[in-house]
Amino acid sequence: MSEQANNAEKNNANAHMALETRVNPYDGFEEFFELSAQDSKILDGALNLNSGQSAYQSEHFVADSQLTPYRKLKQCLLELETRHHSWHNINNSLKRKLVEVKIAKRDYEACPDDLQKELIAVDIEDMEHDVKVWNRKIKQAAEEVNTYLNLTKKIAGDDDELLDKAMTYDHEEERKYWVTRMAKQAAMDMVSYGRIGSGNMDSIAMMPEEDQIEALATTIQYNERLQNGLAQIAGAVNEGLLENKNAIPNYDVPSVTDKLMAKEILSGKGKDKESNVQHTPESKTGPETV
């Protein structure tokens, strides 16, 4: 590849860093709909909405779904690989579009036909809008890359050995994960149906005997603690409803977004935080499984 081609590729690869990232309405759109200042603000928000995966979503519904730190790290690495590929594809689409704009502008200057030039000008307008859209998408992709990089570092902490294990395969960590996974699935059966379903019981029965015992014991412990916790929460909620009965309509149709009236269950009022074994950052996947 020539030096000129190398420079062109380098410039294109970094082009997104120097371009405007905000997407503006098409020319004439706001005038056609006679948008007010508030309307224009709403439209701007819609055109530049960050529709990527949030950090909260990535942490609690992607990484945490894997239960153990080892498997959470593996999931983060898989997500990071996917976003690396996505960033590359978006960046290439952006580079291609920038070249198409240059070609269209060259054709516009060389075109002798005025009507054909008008068509090329419309194409250029569309392509320049696409460039802004690709810029927004690559920004979102970059944010998700950083999210999973930071999440990986957060989960691993100073444990480089665990991170190294997640990059390969570790038999003991896999065992811990599957004991925990089957215990959780069996516990969900218990919560929903009062018994372990045949599918999960069949899977547990395929495990070594000591792992079966650990999984079933974890299932029972989780279910018992959950039932006790639900009873305490129900008591706090009922107390809150009673205290606020005058604020509740006679024909009550509640929503899950209504204000929670039993605030003490969120604040931990009256609880000894040192003795609270829930919501700890420590792994709960050893023999002392919670």
Nearest residue to 223 via CA among 183, 257, 174 = 183
The answer to whether residues 15 and 30 belong to one domain is: yes
Cα 12 to Cα 68, 99, 130, 210, 285, distances in angstroms = 42, 8, 16, 58, 48
Single residue among 165, 188, 211 that ends a domain in this structure: 165
Residue 99 lies in a domain: yes
Residue 271 lies in a domain: no
Domain count within the chain: 2
Using alpha carbons only, give the angle 263, 269, 273 rounded to the nearest 5 degrees: 130
Cβ contact 206:212 at 8 Å: no
Question: Residue 9 — very low, low, confident or very high, per pLDDT cuts 50/70/90?
Answer: low
Residue 259 lies in a domain: no
User: Phi and psi dihedrals of 165, rounded to 5?
Assistant: -60, -40
Most confident segment among 9-23, 60-74, 133-147, 248-262: 60-74
1-5, 110-114, 191-195, 219-223, range with the lowest pLDDT? 1-5
The answer to whether residues 59 and 191 belong to one domain is: no
Residue corresponding to tokens 């098409």: 26
Q: Is the pLDDT of residue 6 over 60?
A: no
Residue 254 lies in a domain: no
Residue 190 lies in a domain: yes
Residue 265 lies in a domain: no
The answer to whether residues 161 and 202 belong to one domain is: no
Give the SS3 label for residue 279: coil
Rounded CA gap, 140 and 53, in Å? 9
pLDDT digits (tens, 9 = 90+) for 131-179: 888 888 888 888 999 999 999 999 999 999 999 999 999 999 999 999 9
Cβ contact 219:187 at 8 Å: yes
124-128, 130-134, 261-265, range with the lowest pLDDT? 261-265
Which range of residues forms the domain containing residue 237?
Answer: 172-245
The answer for residues whose C-beta is within 8 angstroms of residue 67's C-beta and 6 or more apart is: 177, 180, 181, 184, 285
Give the SS3 label for residue 9: helix
The pLDDT value recorded for residue 232 is 85
The answer to whether residues 120 and 235 belong to one domain is: no
Rounded CA gap, 185 and 192, in Å? 11
Six-digit token pair at 113? Answer: 């036909």
Residue corresponding to tokens 């999960």: 200
pLDDT digits (tens, 9 = 90+) for 40-75: 999 888 888 888 888 899 999 999 999 999 999 999
pLDDT higher at 289 or 217: 217
Helices (H), the chain: 3-13, 29-33, 37-47, 55-57, 69-110, 114-156, 160-166, 171-193, 198-205, 209-243, 264-267
The answer to whether residues 115 and 229 belong to one domain is: no
Residue 257 lies in a domain: no
Residue 286 lies in a domain: no
Single residue among 133, 165, 197 that ends a domain in this structure: 165
The answer to whether residues 218 and 119 belong to one domain is: no
Single residue among 110, 143, 165 that ends a domain in this structure: 165
Rounded CA gap, 41 and 13, in Å? 32
Q: Is the pLDDT of residue 95 over 50?
A: yes
Cβ contact 233:262 at 8 Å: yes
The pLDDT value recorded for residue 3 is 60
